[in-house]
Amino acid sequence: MRLHADQIAGFTGGEIVLPAREYARQARGIAWDSRSVQPDDMYIALPGERVDGYDFCIDAIQAGASVVLIMRDMDDHVRYAAQEAGVAVVRVPDTFTAVTELARNWRPMLAGSVLALTGSSGKTTTKNLVRDVLAVRGSVVATEGNQNNELGVPATLLRAQPGDDAVVVEMGMRGAGQIARLCSFVKPDMALVTNVGTSHIELLGSRDAIARAKSEVLAAVPEGSGAVFINASDEYAQRLCEYGCVFERDVEVVFFDGSGIDPFSYDGSLRPAVFASDVRLDGHGCPAFTLHVPGGAASCQMRLRGLHNVHNACAAAAVGWYMHMDVATIAQALSVSEAMAGRQDVLRTASGVTVVDDSYNANPDSMRASLSMFGSLSVPGHRFAILGDMAELGDYTVAGHRLVGEYAARAGLDRLICVGTSAASIASAAIDAGMSRDAVSFVGGASDALAALADELEEGDAVLVKASRSMGLERIVEGLVG
């Protein structure tokens, strides 16, 4: 982003209440946390339930902000600090809305391809893989972390520059219509859906409703141009196409599949163009496979763990292939991509225990994928799984947790410790599915789980930690590894 104060005022319907000392000074980034302000950022004073961003304007100015956006009258203290630093102050009707309007008006200045990406699980990992693949061919801006909401999505666009070759925008979803609203200013040239699962079923009521909501990203690709990327092995693949009206609108559809199934076993309309064969896991739980694209194939050994990441890799490969990259280059980029912190990080304690930190988030699908990966690891000792509550399942809460418990009973675990109120259903289902009562515990919180482990872990054992982020089970990881 490169914007003068008058452009910012024009884009947001605001007014310059204090001009910059030097007109040529531009805002080159945005921040709404004064602690993260970098020189020449625009600081956006967002109101909050507990704190008001306006109260930190002076901190942002002192950190080097070039423009400050406010939505109330400026007091003398802020005016004096801004005048001393030569900073422009723009008052807008609503600072939250201003972020979206800035992105909406900045979007036409971006010449590179824009990909919008969503799905019930695997969004962030797939976004990172797409970013790493496309980075080989040019400059790429992608969503940072999992900032995929009403603030993070416009922030991603605003970090991009006109000369960037690609922008990869991850989109989360809390209800019907939300992705459509995000796409109204992102205006994607391409769209990708990783899968349709049970995440956010609390809000939408059924997987079919989730598929309809996810398909909004497909419907946003302009008629007669661009491409959409869909997981052929997902049972909602056909319905995604229907709900997104991709065939009627003459949008190119590229199906991908990381399951290892023969692509010719699919109906012709769903046959994947990009797929994996000879899929296997090594002793570290990392997949290796042969990656196929139209006209070529290459071997790929990933650093990420779990068979589910083959689907994510094939999704990224489909985008790379569509962008005219050769298969060997794509496979090499996939092979060096690293996992985010808290997503199946494999750590070692001083006492020789392996800890798999997958505490970043969870839903029934990702729980099963993580348990499957954990079972593939080469572990000389015992396997312990610490599984916590999964949030946002609504009426599916009990059934979703029981499904995980049934899977855990078949996952080769020696010990299962369940943390949280809803996780009691994981424990009971695991026992009902045949796991020994003596091997299953139910505790209230992270400290209780640590206490339960204290006298049991020995050198050579392995521990998997996974739950929704709200459970704070990263404290267990910290307690184990120090």
Quick: pLDDT tens for 222-237. 999 999 999 999 999 9
- Which residues 6+ apart lie within 8 Å of 341 measured at CB? 357, 360
Range list for CATH 3.40.1190.10 in the chain: 110-336
- Report d(CA 188, CA 439) in Å as an integer: 50
- Report d(CA 325, CA 309) in Å as an integer: 20
Query: Whole-prediction pTM value?
Result: 0.84
Which pLDDT score, from 0 to 100, does residue 365 have?
87
Helix axes 95-106, 5-12, angle to 10 degrees: 110
Q: What is the DSSP letter of 236?
A: T
Which residues is 67 bridged to in the sheet? 42, 88
Dig out the tokens for 416 from the structure.
């299962």
Given a contact cutoff of 8 angstroms between Cβ atoms, the answer to whether 158 and 141 are in contact is no
Which pLDDT score, from 0 to 100, does residue 257 have?
97
Given a contact cutoff of 8 angstroms between Cβ atoms, the answer to whether 427 and 418 are in contact is yes
For the domain spanning 5-94, the CATH number is: 3.40.1390.10
Which residues is 384 bridged to in the sheet? 415, 463
Q: Considering the domain 110-336, what is its CATH architecture?
A: 3-Layer(aba) Sandwich (3.40)
Range list for CATH 3.90.190.20 in the chain: 345-481
Which pLDDT score, from 0 to 100, does residue 343 have?
72
Superfamily grouping for domain 345-481: Mur ligase, C-terminal domain (3.90.190.20)
Given a contact cutoff of 8 angstroms between Cβ atoms, the answer to whether 220 and 257 are in contact is no
Alpha helices, DSSP H, located in 178-280: 178-186, 201-204, 207-214, 216-219, 237-244
- Report d(CA 324, CA 334) in Å as an integer: 16
Which residues is 354 bridged to in the sheet? 348, 462
- Report d(CA 194, CA 262) in Å as an integer: 20
Which pLDDT score, from 0 to 100, does residue 315 have?
98
Using CA atoms in the order 374, 380, 381, 382, what is the torsion angle rounded to 10 degrees?
Answer: 30
- Which residues 6+ apart lie within 8 Å of 213 measured at CB? 173, 175, 176, 177, 178, 179, 204
Which residues is 168 bridged to in the sheet? 115, 142
Which pLDDT score, from 0 to 100, does residue 283 have?
81
Q: What is the DSSP letter of 412?
A: T
Residues of the chain with pLDDT under 50: none
Given a contact cutoff of 8 angstroms between Cβ atoms, the answer to whether 474 and 357 are in contact is yes
Among 220, 256, 246, CA closest to 107: 220
Which pLDDT score, from 0 to 100, does residue 342 have?
64
- Report d(CA 357, CA 476) in Å as an integer: 9
Range list for CATH 3.40.1390.10 in the chain: 5-94
**CA distance between the termini of the chain:** 40
Q: Output the CA–CA distances (angstroms, integers) from residue 311 to 195, 306, 307, in the order listed.
A: 9, 10, 8
Given a contact cutoff of 8 angstroms between Cβ atoms, the answer to whether 466 and 444 are in contact is no
- Report d(CA 296, CA 422) in Å as an integer: 47
